[in-house]
Amino acid sequence: MSPDSATLIQPPSAGPAPLHNGNGAPKPLDESNQQGHRIQELIEQIDALPDLDARALVQECLQSVLALHGQGLARVLQLVQDAGAEGQKILDQFLHDEAVRSLLFIHGLHPVDLATRLDQALSKVRPYMESHGGNVELISLENDVARLRLQGACKTCPSSTVTMELAVRRAIEEACPDLMGFELEGVAETADSHVPHAAPAWTTVDGLGHLNNCDTTAVELNGVSLIICKVNETFYAYRNLCPACGVSFAPGGLDEGCLKCPLGHRFDAQHAGKCIDNETFHLDPFPLLAQNGQVKVWVG
């Protein structure tokens, strides 16, 4: 696929979230998620019933129960909204609660319209993208399908472009699970890229709370050696290997936003690892997301 082509990406439905977080620990919402999975299994069994009348009766019952719950939830929202400033605080808590937010999406009751949420999602991810030398433009939103275009990603580094795609995908899936899909232009594809087009499995990197601004640390995840650096309060992850000389970066080897290998080759950590002295070289970036005090990296 050329950089000018577009891919149609279907976000997942507003169903149960994964049962584990990035480091494999159980999530607080395990019980709710398990119930959601069980409901999905039961629905599949109902759809497979050989008796058409029984199938129709059960489906009608489920729809009636769902409608009843939706009416009750709508009434709860109305009472909260009528409570003034205190109600607004509660509503904000609802919108930041994963389980409640999912219910609002299921019943079509989320108070923020799709266009606004999409704009907020893109605004949230833009600082991260700009720090990697890229950006994203909303071309259109029609029939609940968005057309987006990646801009300015490092043209010599296809994996950097896909890193931008993953950042956009993550932001949209969280804020707009009701979006029918989105076309993403400007996505480069390369046979040797280690970054997938499918939803990635993130690994949480512990122990980065001590990392000071303009500092680095070397870590190994799933057998891959990485150098993680922090510049202007933003984290970046690269393969711990200088492409110019083949040696590893030493911890602390960051100078004015540039990673410097022991032999003196310098790379711009904030802009996809471009080499300062020779544009034919660039670091191998890995998708990294910093959110809610956690740093997660995809290493395959």
Asked if the model's pLDDT at residue 195 lies above 60, the reply is no
CA distances from 12 to 191, 211, 291 (A): 26, 34, 20
Residues near 238 by beta carbon (within 8 Å), at least 6 away in sequence: 226, 227, 229, 259, 267, 269, 273, 283, 284, 285, 286
Amino acid letter for position 175: A
What is the rounded average pLDDT of the residues 195-219? 74
Domain positions in the chain: 49-106, 203-297
Name the average pLDDT for the chain.
77
What is the rounded average pLDDT of the residues 115-142? 83
CATH class of 203-297: mainly beta
Residue-level pLDDT at 177: 84
Tens digit of each residue's pLDDT (9 = 90 or more) over 42-63:
888 998 989 999 999 998 998 9
Residue-level pLDDT at 187: 61
What is the rounded average pLDDT of the residues 203-226? 85
What is the rounded average pLDDT of the residues 84-106? 86
Asked if the model's pLDDT at residue 33 lies above 70, the reply is no
Tens digit of each residue's pLDDT (9 = 90 or more) over 129-185:
776 667 888 999 998 899 998 887 555 455 556 667 777 887 888 888 888 888 888
Residue-level pLDDT at 129: 73
Q: Which residues of 133-169 are buried (b: 16+ CB within 10 A; e: fewer)?
A: bbbbeeeebeeeebbbbbebbbeebbbbbbbbbbbbb
Residue-level pLDDT at 5: 38
Residue-level pLDDT at 82: 93
DSSP characters over 93-154: HHHH-HHHHHHHHHTT--SS-HHHHHHHHHHHHHHHHHHTT-EEEEEEEETTEEEEEEES--
- Tokens for 44, please give them: 């599949």
Residue-level pLDDT at 139: 92
Q: Is 182 within 8 Å of 9 (Cβ atoms)? A: yes
What is the rounded average pLDDT of the residues 185-194? 52
